[in-house]
Amino acid sequence: MYPKVSKFYNELHTSLASCGVNGFKVDLGLGYGDKVYLFPGYHQDGVAFPSMCENSALTWRFLGGKPKLMFLKDSSPLDNSISIVQPESGLPIPSPNVDPSSSSFHIEHITSDMPSTSSQPAFVPTDMVIPEPITSDMPSLSSQLASVPTNMVTPAFRRLVSQRISLMAESSGFDPQLALSHKFPETTYTYTERDSVLYALGVGACARDAVDDDELKYVYHANGEQFLQVLPTFAALFSLASLPNGFNLPGLEYDQRLLLHGQQYIELYRPFPSSGCVHNKVSLAGLHDKGKAAIIEYETKSYEKESGQLLCMNRSTVFLRGAGGFSKSSQPYSYSNYQTDKASTVKIPKTHPFAVFEDSTQPSQALLYRLSGDYNPLHSDPMVAKTAGFSRPILHGLCTLGFAVRAIIKCICKGDPNLIKSITGRFLLHVYPGETLITEMWLDDLRVIYQAKVKERNRTVLSGYVDVHRLTSSL
């Protein structure tokens, strides 16, 4: 997505959704003169996934102050939708050379089945959306891309989309106090030794060396003579299982495809048994209005069910695009039930790292990690990944965190996972399975500041710190 217009694109699809247009294939492109060219992309239920391809274009024209939308509609479209497809295959139009006058296509009004906009904000008044034939004088998109600056969004289009539109949080009655008083259902999570082993393999244990004593203890023991050890980041699975209905809050409806997992914080109170049953209690730890987005922090405390002992605490920070704007005053709403730590302000030292660990992920890494419970198709389905703008499925952020903490255990804790006291990870960029992760570590008393980079792209994908109980004498 071109950076100067990407901020308008979310408002476009959200606004159309507010008019009742739930599924459409179109993506915001570049403004040029009195037109705005649109790239094909996939949208469903008001959620947009940019195709990031330079294929055929549609045009919004601004003539005499009235916008005219030129589009093609399938002969058997989704109800209440705009669809730009090839009727024979159902695929997006592949190039500007498709003949719109072909009998396979027809132009159809979209206003007849759109609900009245009198009761809700509307992007474009329905009586102003006028289909217009796509004529041969439409410029080639590829020729325009070479000469049009990405910041040339037309003033008319800017005015149309300048209104701030969230996921209708205010009009739907979203009340932060109601959210804060919400009682999440308590859940249980039962796991076996097999689950512990599968998780360890999912975050790369023994991938480099199948007989590495430091890591073999996570996946194998001889004849039951000793219990397997469990990696501390296994705690993140408790957090995932504690929210069976996702991150929903009363009055705040959103599509989880708009959710970004921004940060994970884990406190560890005792080693995990290799199998067991945990009891999870969830509360809302933070809620922040960021204008066009909301930041929500969920805290999960996990107890060993049999003994009642507290095992760990997870705090998951999620970023909901389009869900902000619910503050009742000019001061943005912000709530936290804990004292803000230094996680968000930790700076990576400019000195040479104390330790560096290089580890290769496998091409099938995401397929293996998903077996631990995160079945988001973004990490396994090539088509879903492409519609989300990635060339192929990406690695789970929590899997990347597992790789980084494994590196710290190996380099700083000398193979002892029980030295880990707490973990913070900020997810900065995606990782493709098969890429090489380089974890750099710096010591600051009993804190290990770290960052993980993708070697092939030289990009930082994860950063944070790990607090340890003590340092080993061999350091």
Q: Which residues are catalytic?
A: 374, 379, 394, 397
Q: Which pLDDT belongs to residue 133?
A: 34
Residue 232: helix, strand or coil by DSSP?
Answer: helix
Instruction: Note whether residue 171 is domain-resident.
Output: no
Residue span of the structural domain in which 373 resides: 176-468
Q: Would you state the pLDDT for residue 175? A: 76
Tens-place pLDDT, residues 79-119: 223 333 333 333 333 333 333 333 232 222 233 233 333 33
Could you tell me if residue 36 is inside a domain? yes
Domain boundary among 161, 193, 219: 161
CB 472 within 8 A of CB 413: yes
- Within-domain flag for 86: yes
Same domain, 24 and 112: yes
Q: Rounded distance, CA 114 to CA 93, Å?
A: 25
pLDDT in the model for residue 136: 36
Q: Is the domain of 84 the same as that of 38?
A: yes
49 and 113 share one domain: yes
Q: What is the CATH number of the domain that holds 215?
A: 3.10.129.10
pLDDT for the residue 326: 80
Q: Domain check: are 256 and 204 in the same one? A: yes
* CA dihedral of residues 89, 94, 97, 100 (deg, nearest 10): 50
- 343 with 457, same domain: the answer is yes
The residue with greater pLDDT, 368 or 147, is: 368
> What phi and psi, each to the nearest 5 degrees, are found at residue 43?
-130, 140
Q: Are residues 180 and 156 in the same domain?
A: no
pLDDT at 430 exceeding the cut of 80: yes
* 317 lies in some domain: yes
Instruction: Name the percent of the chain lying above pLDDT 90.
Output: 43
Does one domain contain both 140 and 195? no
Report whether pLDDT(40) > 50. no
Q: Per the domain annotation, does 168 fall within a domain?
A: no
Yes or no: say if 121 and 163 are a contact pair by the CB < 8 Å rule: yes
Same domain for 180 and 309, yes or no, is yes
Which DSSP helix (H) or strand (E) runs through 259?
strand 259-268
> 227 in a domain, yes or no?
yes
Whole-model pTM: value is 0.65
Last residue of a domain, one of 127, 161, 195: 161
Helix locations, 264-419, DSSP H? 365-369, 382-387, 397-411
Q: What are the start-end ranges of the H helices in 39-184?
A: 141-145, 155-161, 176-180
> What pLDDT sits at residue 10?
52
Number of domains into which the chain is organized: 2
- Pair 196, 142 in one domain: no
* Domain boundary, last residue among 126, 161, 196: 161
In a domain, 247, yes or no: yes
Report yes or no on 167 lying in a domain. no
Distance (Å, whole) CA 380 – CA 386: 11
* Domain co-membership, 157 together with 185: no
**Are 406 and 372 in the same domain?**
yes
Q: Name the more confident of 382 and 48.
A: 382
Looking at the structure, tell me whether residues 76 and 193 fall in a common domain.
no
